[in-house]
Chains A and B, each alone.
Chain A
């Protein structure tokens, strides 16, 4: 069965370190998204991609980067982790058609100490 997986599920890192969160989908979806979820803020869009070699900034992109070298993967990199980036991160993918809906990964809980 097709799926979308995130790894790791939990990560503790130190301030200033570079961290990469993986997202892999086997739906062959064009669109992929990264969100962070914090209490009181709902889901905030970090970066998104509409296809290979395409990346776009979301509303909270500072301190984060993504690259899309193939259809299946959209890794999220925190260049220099900060305590403010402690959060739960969700990856999602969708076909990209007007009536398509998204599938979400199970989330990665990141703690920056």
Chain B
């Protein structure tokens, strides 16, 4: 059974625009992490946000966390073609539990 999910399921934007995707979860968490998956490859870790943090930045990535709403968002600014991938949140603490992912397509 799915304990959370990302939305939207798919997102297409023009290169240079910002992309925002969201993650909702149902359990309490210690931290939440975002991963990227390029087509056919394994997941790669992007960023971690702790439960006592509200916002975190890393390069063109900005993550927010609202524990009262049990949700997180990932913003990718100034998108590039290389950002085309699927994005997953992990809210499972030590158990690594993922949502269904957001498939992001950047149109050149």
Q: Are A98 and B93 in contact, with the CB atoms below 8 A?
A: yes
The verdict on A42 contacting B99 (CB below 8 Å), with A98-B30, A99-B50 known, is yes
Residue B97 interfacial (CB < 8 Å): yes
Q: Are A99 and B31 in contact, with the CB atoms below 8 A?
A: yes
Q: How far is the CA of A42 from the CA of B88 in the complex (A)?
A: 9
Q: How far is the CA of A88 from the CA of B41 in the complex (A)?
A: 10
Describe A's contact surface by its main secondary structure.
strand
Residues of B within 8 A of A92 (CB): 42-43, 96
- A62-102 CB contacts (< 8 Å) to partner B: 88, 90, 92, 94, 96, 98-99, 101-102
Residues of B within 8 A of A42 (CB): 2, 88, 98-101
The verdict on A107 contacting B40 (CB below 8 Å), with A42-B88, A42-B101, A101-B48 known, is yes
Q: How far is the CA of A43 from the CA of B2 in the complex (A)?
A: 10
Closest to A94 in B: B96
Q: Are A101 and B45 in contact, with the CB atoms below 8 A?
A: yes
Residues of A within 8 A of B40 (CB): 88, 107
Q: Are B97 and A45 in contact, with the CB atoms below 8 A?
A: yes
Closest to B9 in A: A40
B-side residues, CB < 8 A to A, are: 1-2, 30-31, 33, 35, 40-45, 48, 50, 88, 90, 93-101
A-side residues, CB < 8 A to B, are: 31, 33, 35, 40-43, 45, 48, 50, 59, 88, 90, 92, 94, 96, 98-99, 101-107
